[in-house]
Amino acid sequence: MLLASLLLCQLLSQEVIVVHPNVGATIDLEEKIHYHLFPDIYNFKDAQFYQTAADTIVAKIRLWSGSEVEERYIYYTQYQVYLLASGIASQPLLDDKERVSIHKRFQPLYTDKFLADIKENTYCRLKLKDKRKFDAVYYRTKNDSVMFWLDKQLIPIKKENIMRLKYWDNYEQKNWIKWGCLGAMALVSYGTVGFTAGILNFTGPNIILLQYLAASVGSIIGYKISPTINDYLLTATVIEFRTSRIKRLDIIERTFYNGRKLKDKIWQLIAP
């Protein structure tokens, strides 16, 4: 413990070394995969290199442990760092296209990464393998379980039992969405009755009364569906545990995402 404390103090007093310009001062998960760095390190978050007073270079590697971050230190000689830099230089530069490709090929790594980034008290919607669906409040990730507040109780759920987890960054009921749904449904109901009465040549004061009645019913329906519309419009992240797929959905992306899901379901129905 004393040695580790002294080492930590020593590291904090030194500047970070850039092993190679292609990775910069901090090596992230995509760079680790692309440049084949730290092959024996799992649950990797990021790494930095420091020059010590003893002319030895130390790598400070941060690892995920549930929602917590642990640190590990590895010593390198100058020659080992030279070999490391040569290996990085021999690989093509990591660009945005390759980063996306890495995300697709190594999605299970990013499921834990996204879980660790969820803020405490974040509103979530879950679907389990036994088909149950419910809303809960995220607390933390611990080992192979995700912990949620549900009905004022802290409930651990194993990751293997979760099919889908959807969460919102800043969940709140928007008043403009509520009143917009209420007004839109009232207008649609009012107009539908008037349009139908016109086609059928119905006239008289009862039609006006019926329109106002329909508008009242429509406003109630709008009020009831406003939470669903609110959920749809807010930016959300969906983690599919079964396939380790992660979708970051804003309004436009969600439209295309739901369209693809509907297309897949239709195809499954009509395919022999």
Q: Do 42 and 71 fall within a single domain? A: yes
Q: What is the pLDDT of residue 272?
A: 46
Q: Do 219 and 181 fall within a single domain? A: yes
Q: Do 117 and 78 fall within a single domain? A: no
Q: Which domain holds residue 149?
A: 113-171+234-270
Q: What is the pLDDT of residue 263?
A: 61
Q: Do 28 and 83 fall within a single domain? A: yes
3-state secondary structure the chain: CHHHHHHHHHHHCCCEECCCCCCCCCEEHHHHHHCCCCCCCCCEEEEEEEECCCCCEEEEEEEEECCEEEEEEEEECHHHHHHHHHHHHCCCCCCHHHHHHHHHHCHHHHHHHHHHHCCCCCEEEEEECCCCEEEEEEEEEECCEEEEEECCEEEEEEHHHEEEEEEECCCCCCHHHHHHHHHHHHHHHHHHHHHHHHHCCCCCHHHHHHHHHHHHHHHHHHHHHHHHHHHHHCCEEEEECCCCEEEEECHHHHHHHHHHHHHHHHHHHHCC
Going residue by residue through the chain, which has 272 residues, state the pLDDT in tens, using 9 for 90 and above: 445 554 555 554 567 889 999 998 899 888 988 898 988 887 788 999 998 766 788 999 998 775 578 899 999 988 899 999 999 999 999 888 888 777 666 655 556 667 777 888 888 888 888 888 888 888 888 777 888 998 888 989 888 888 888 887 766 777 888 888 888 888 888 888 888 878 877 777 777 888 888 888 888 898 888 887 877 777 777 777 766 566 665 555 555 555 665 665 565 566 54
Hunting for tokens 């800043």 — which residue is that? 170
Q: Do 22 and 140 fall within a single domain? A: no
CATH of the domain at 253: 2.30.30
Q: Do 117 and 238 fall within a single domain? A: yes
Q: Do 14 and 86 fall within a single domain? A: yes
Domain termination residue (choose one: 105, 138, 154):
105
CB burial of residue 20 (10 Å; 0-12, 13-18, 19+): middle
User: 16-17 and 57-65 as β-strands: parallel, antiparallel, unpaired?
Assistant: unpaired
Residue 215 · residue 189 · CB < 8 Å: yes
For the whole model, what pTM was predicted?
Answer: 0.43
Neighbouring-strand partners of residue 44: 63
Q: What is the pLDDT of residue 89?
A: 93
Structure tokens at 55: 């002319």
Domain count, the chain: 3
Q: What is the pLDDT of residue 270?
A: 60
Q: Do 253 and 143 fall within a single domain? A: yes
Q: Do 72 and 193 fall within a single domain? A: no
* C-alpha span between 161 and 157 (Å, rounded): 7
Q: Do 245 and 228 fall within a single domain? A: no
Neighbouring-strand partners of residue 141: 146
Q: Do 163 and 185 fall within a single domain? A: no
Q: Do 100 and 13 fall within a single domain? A: yes
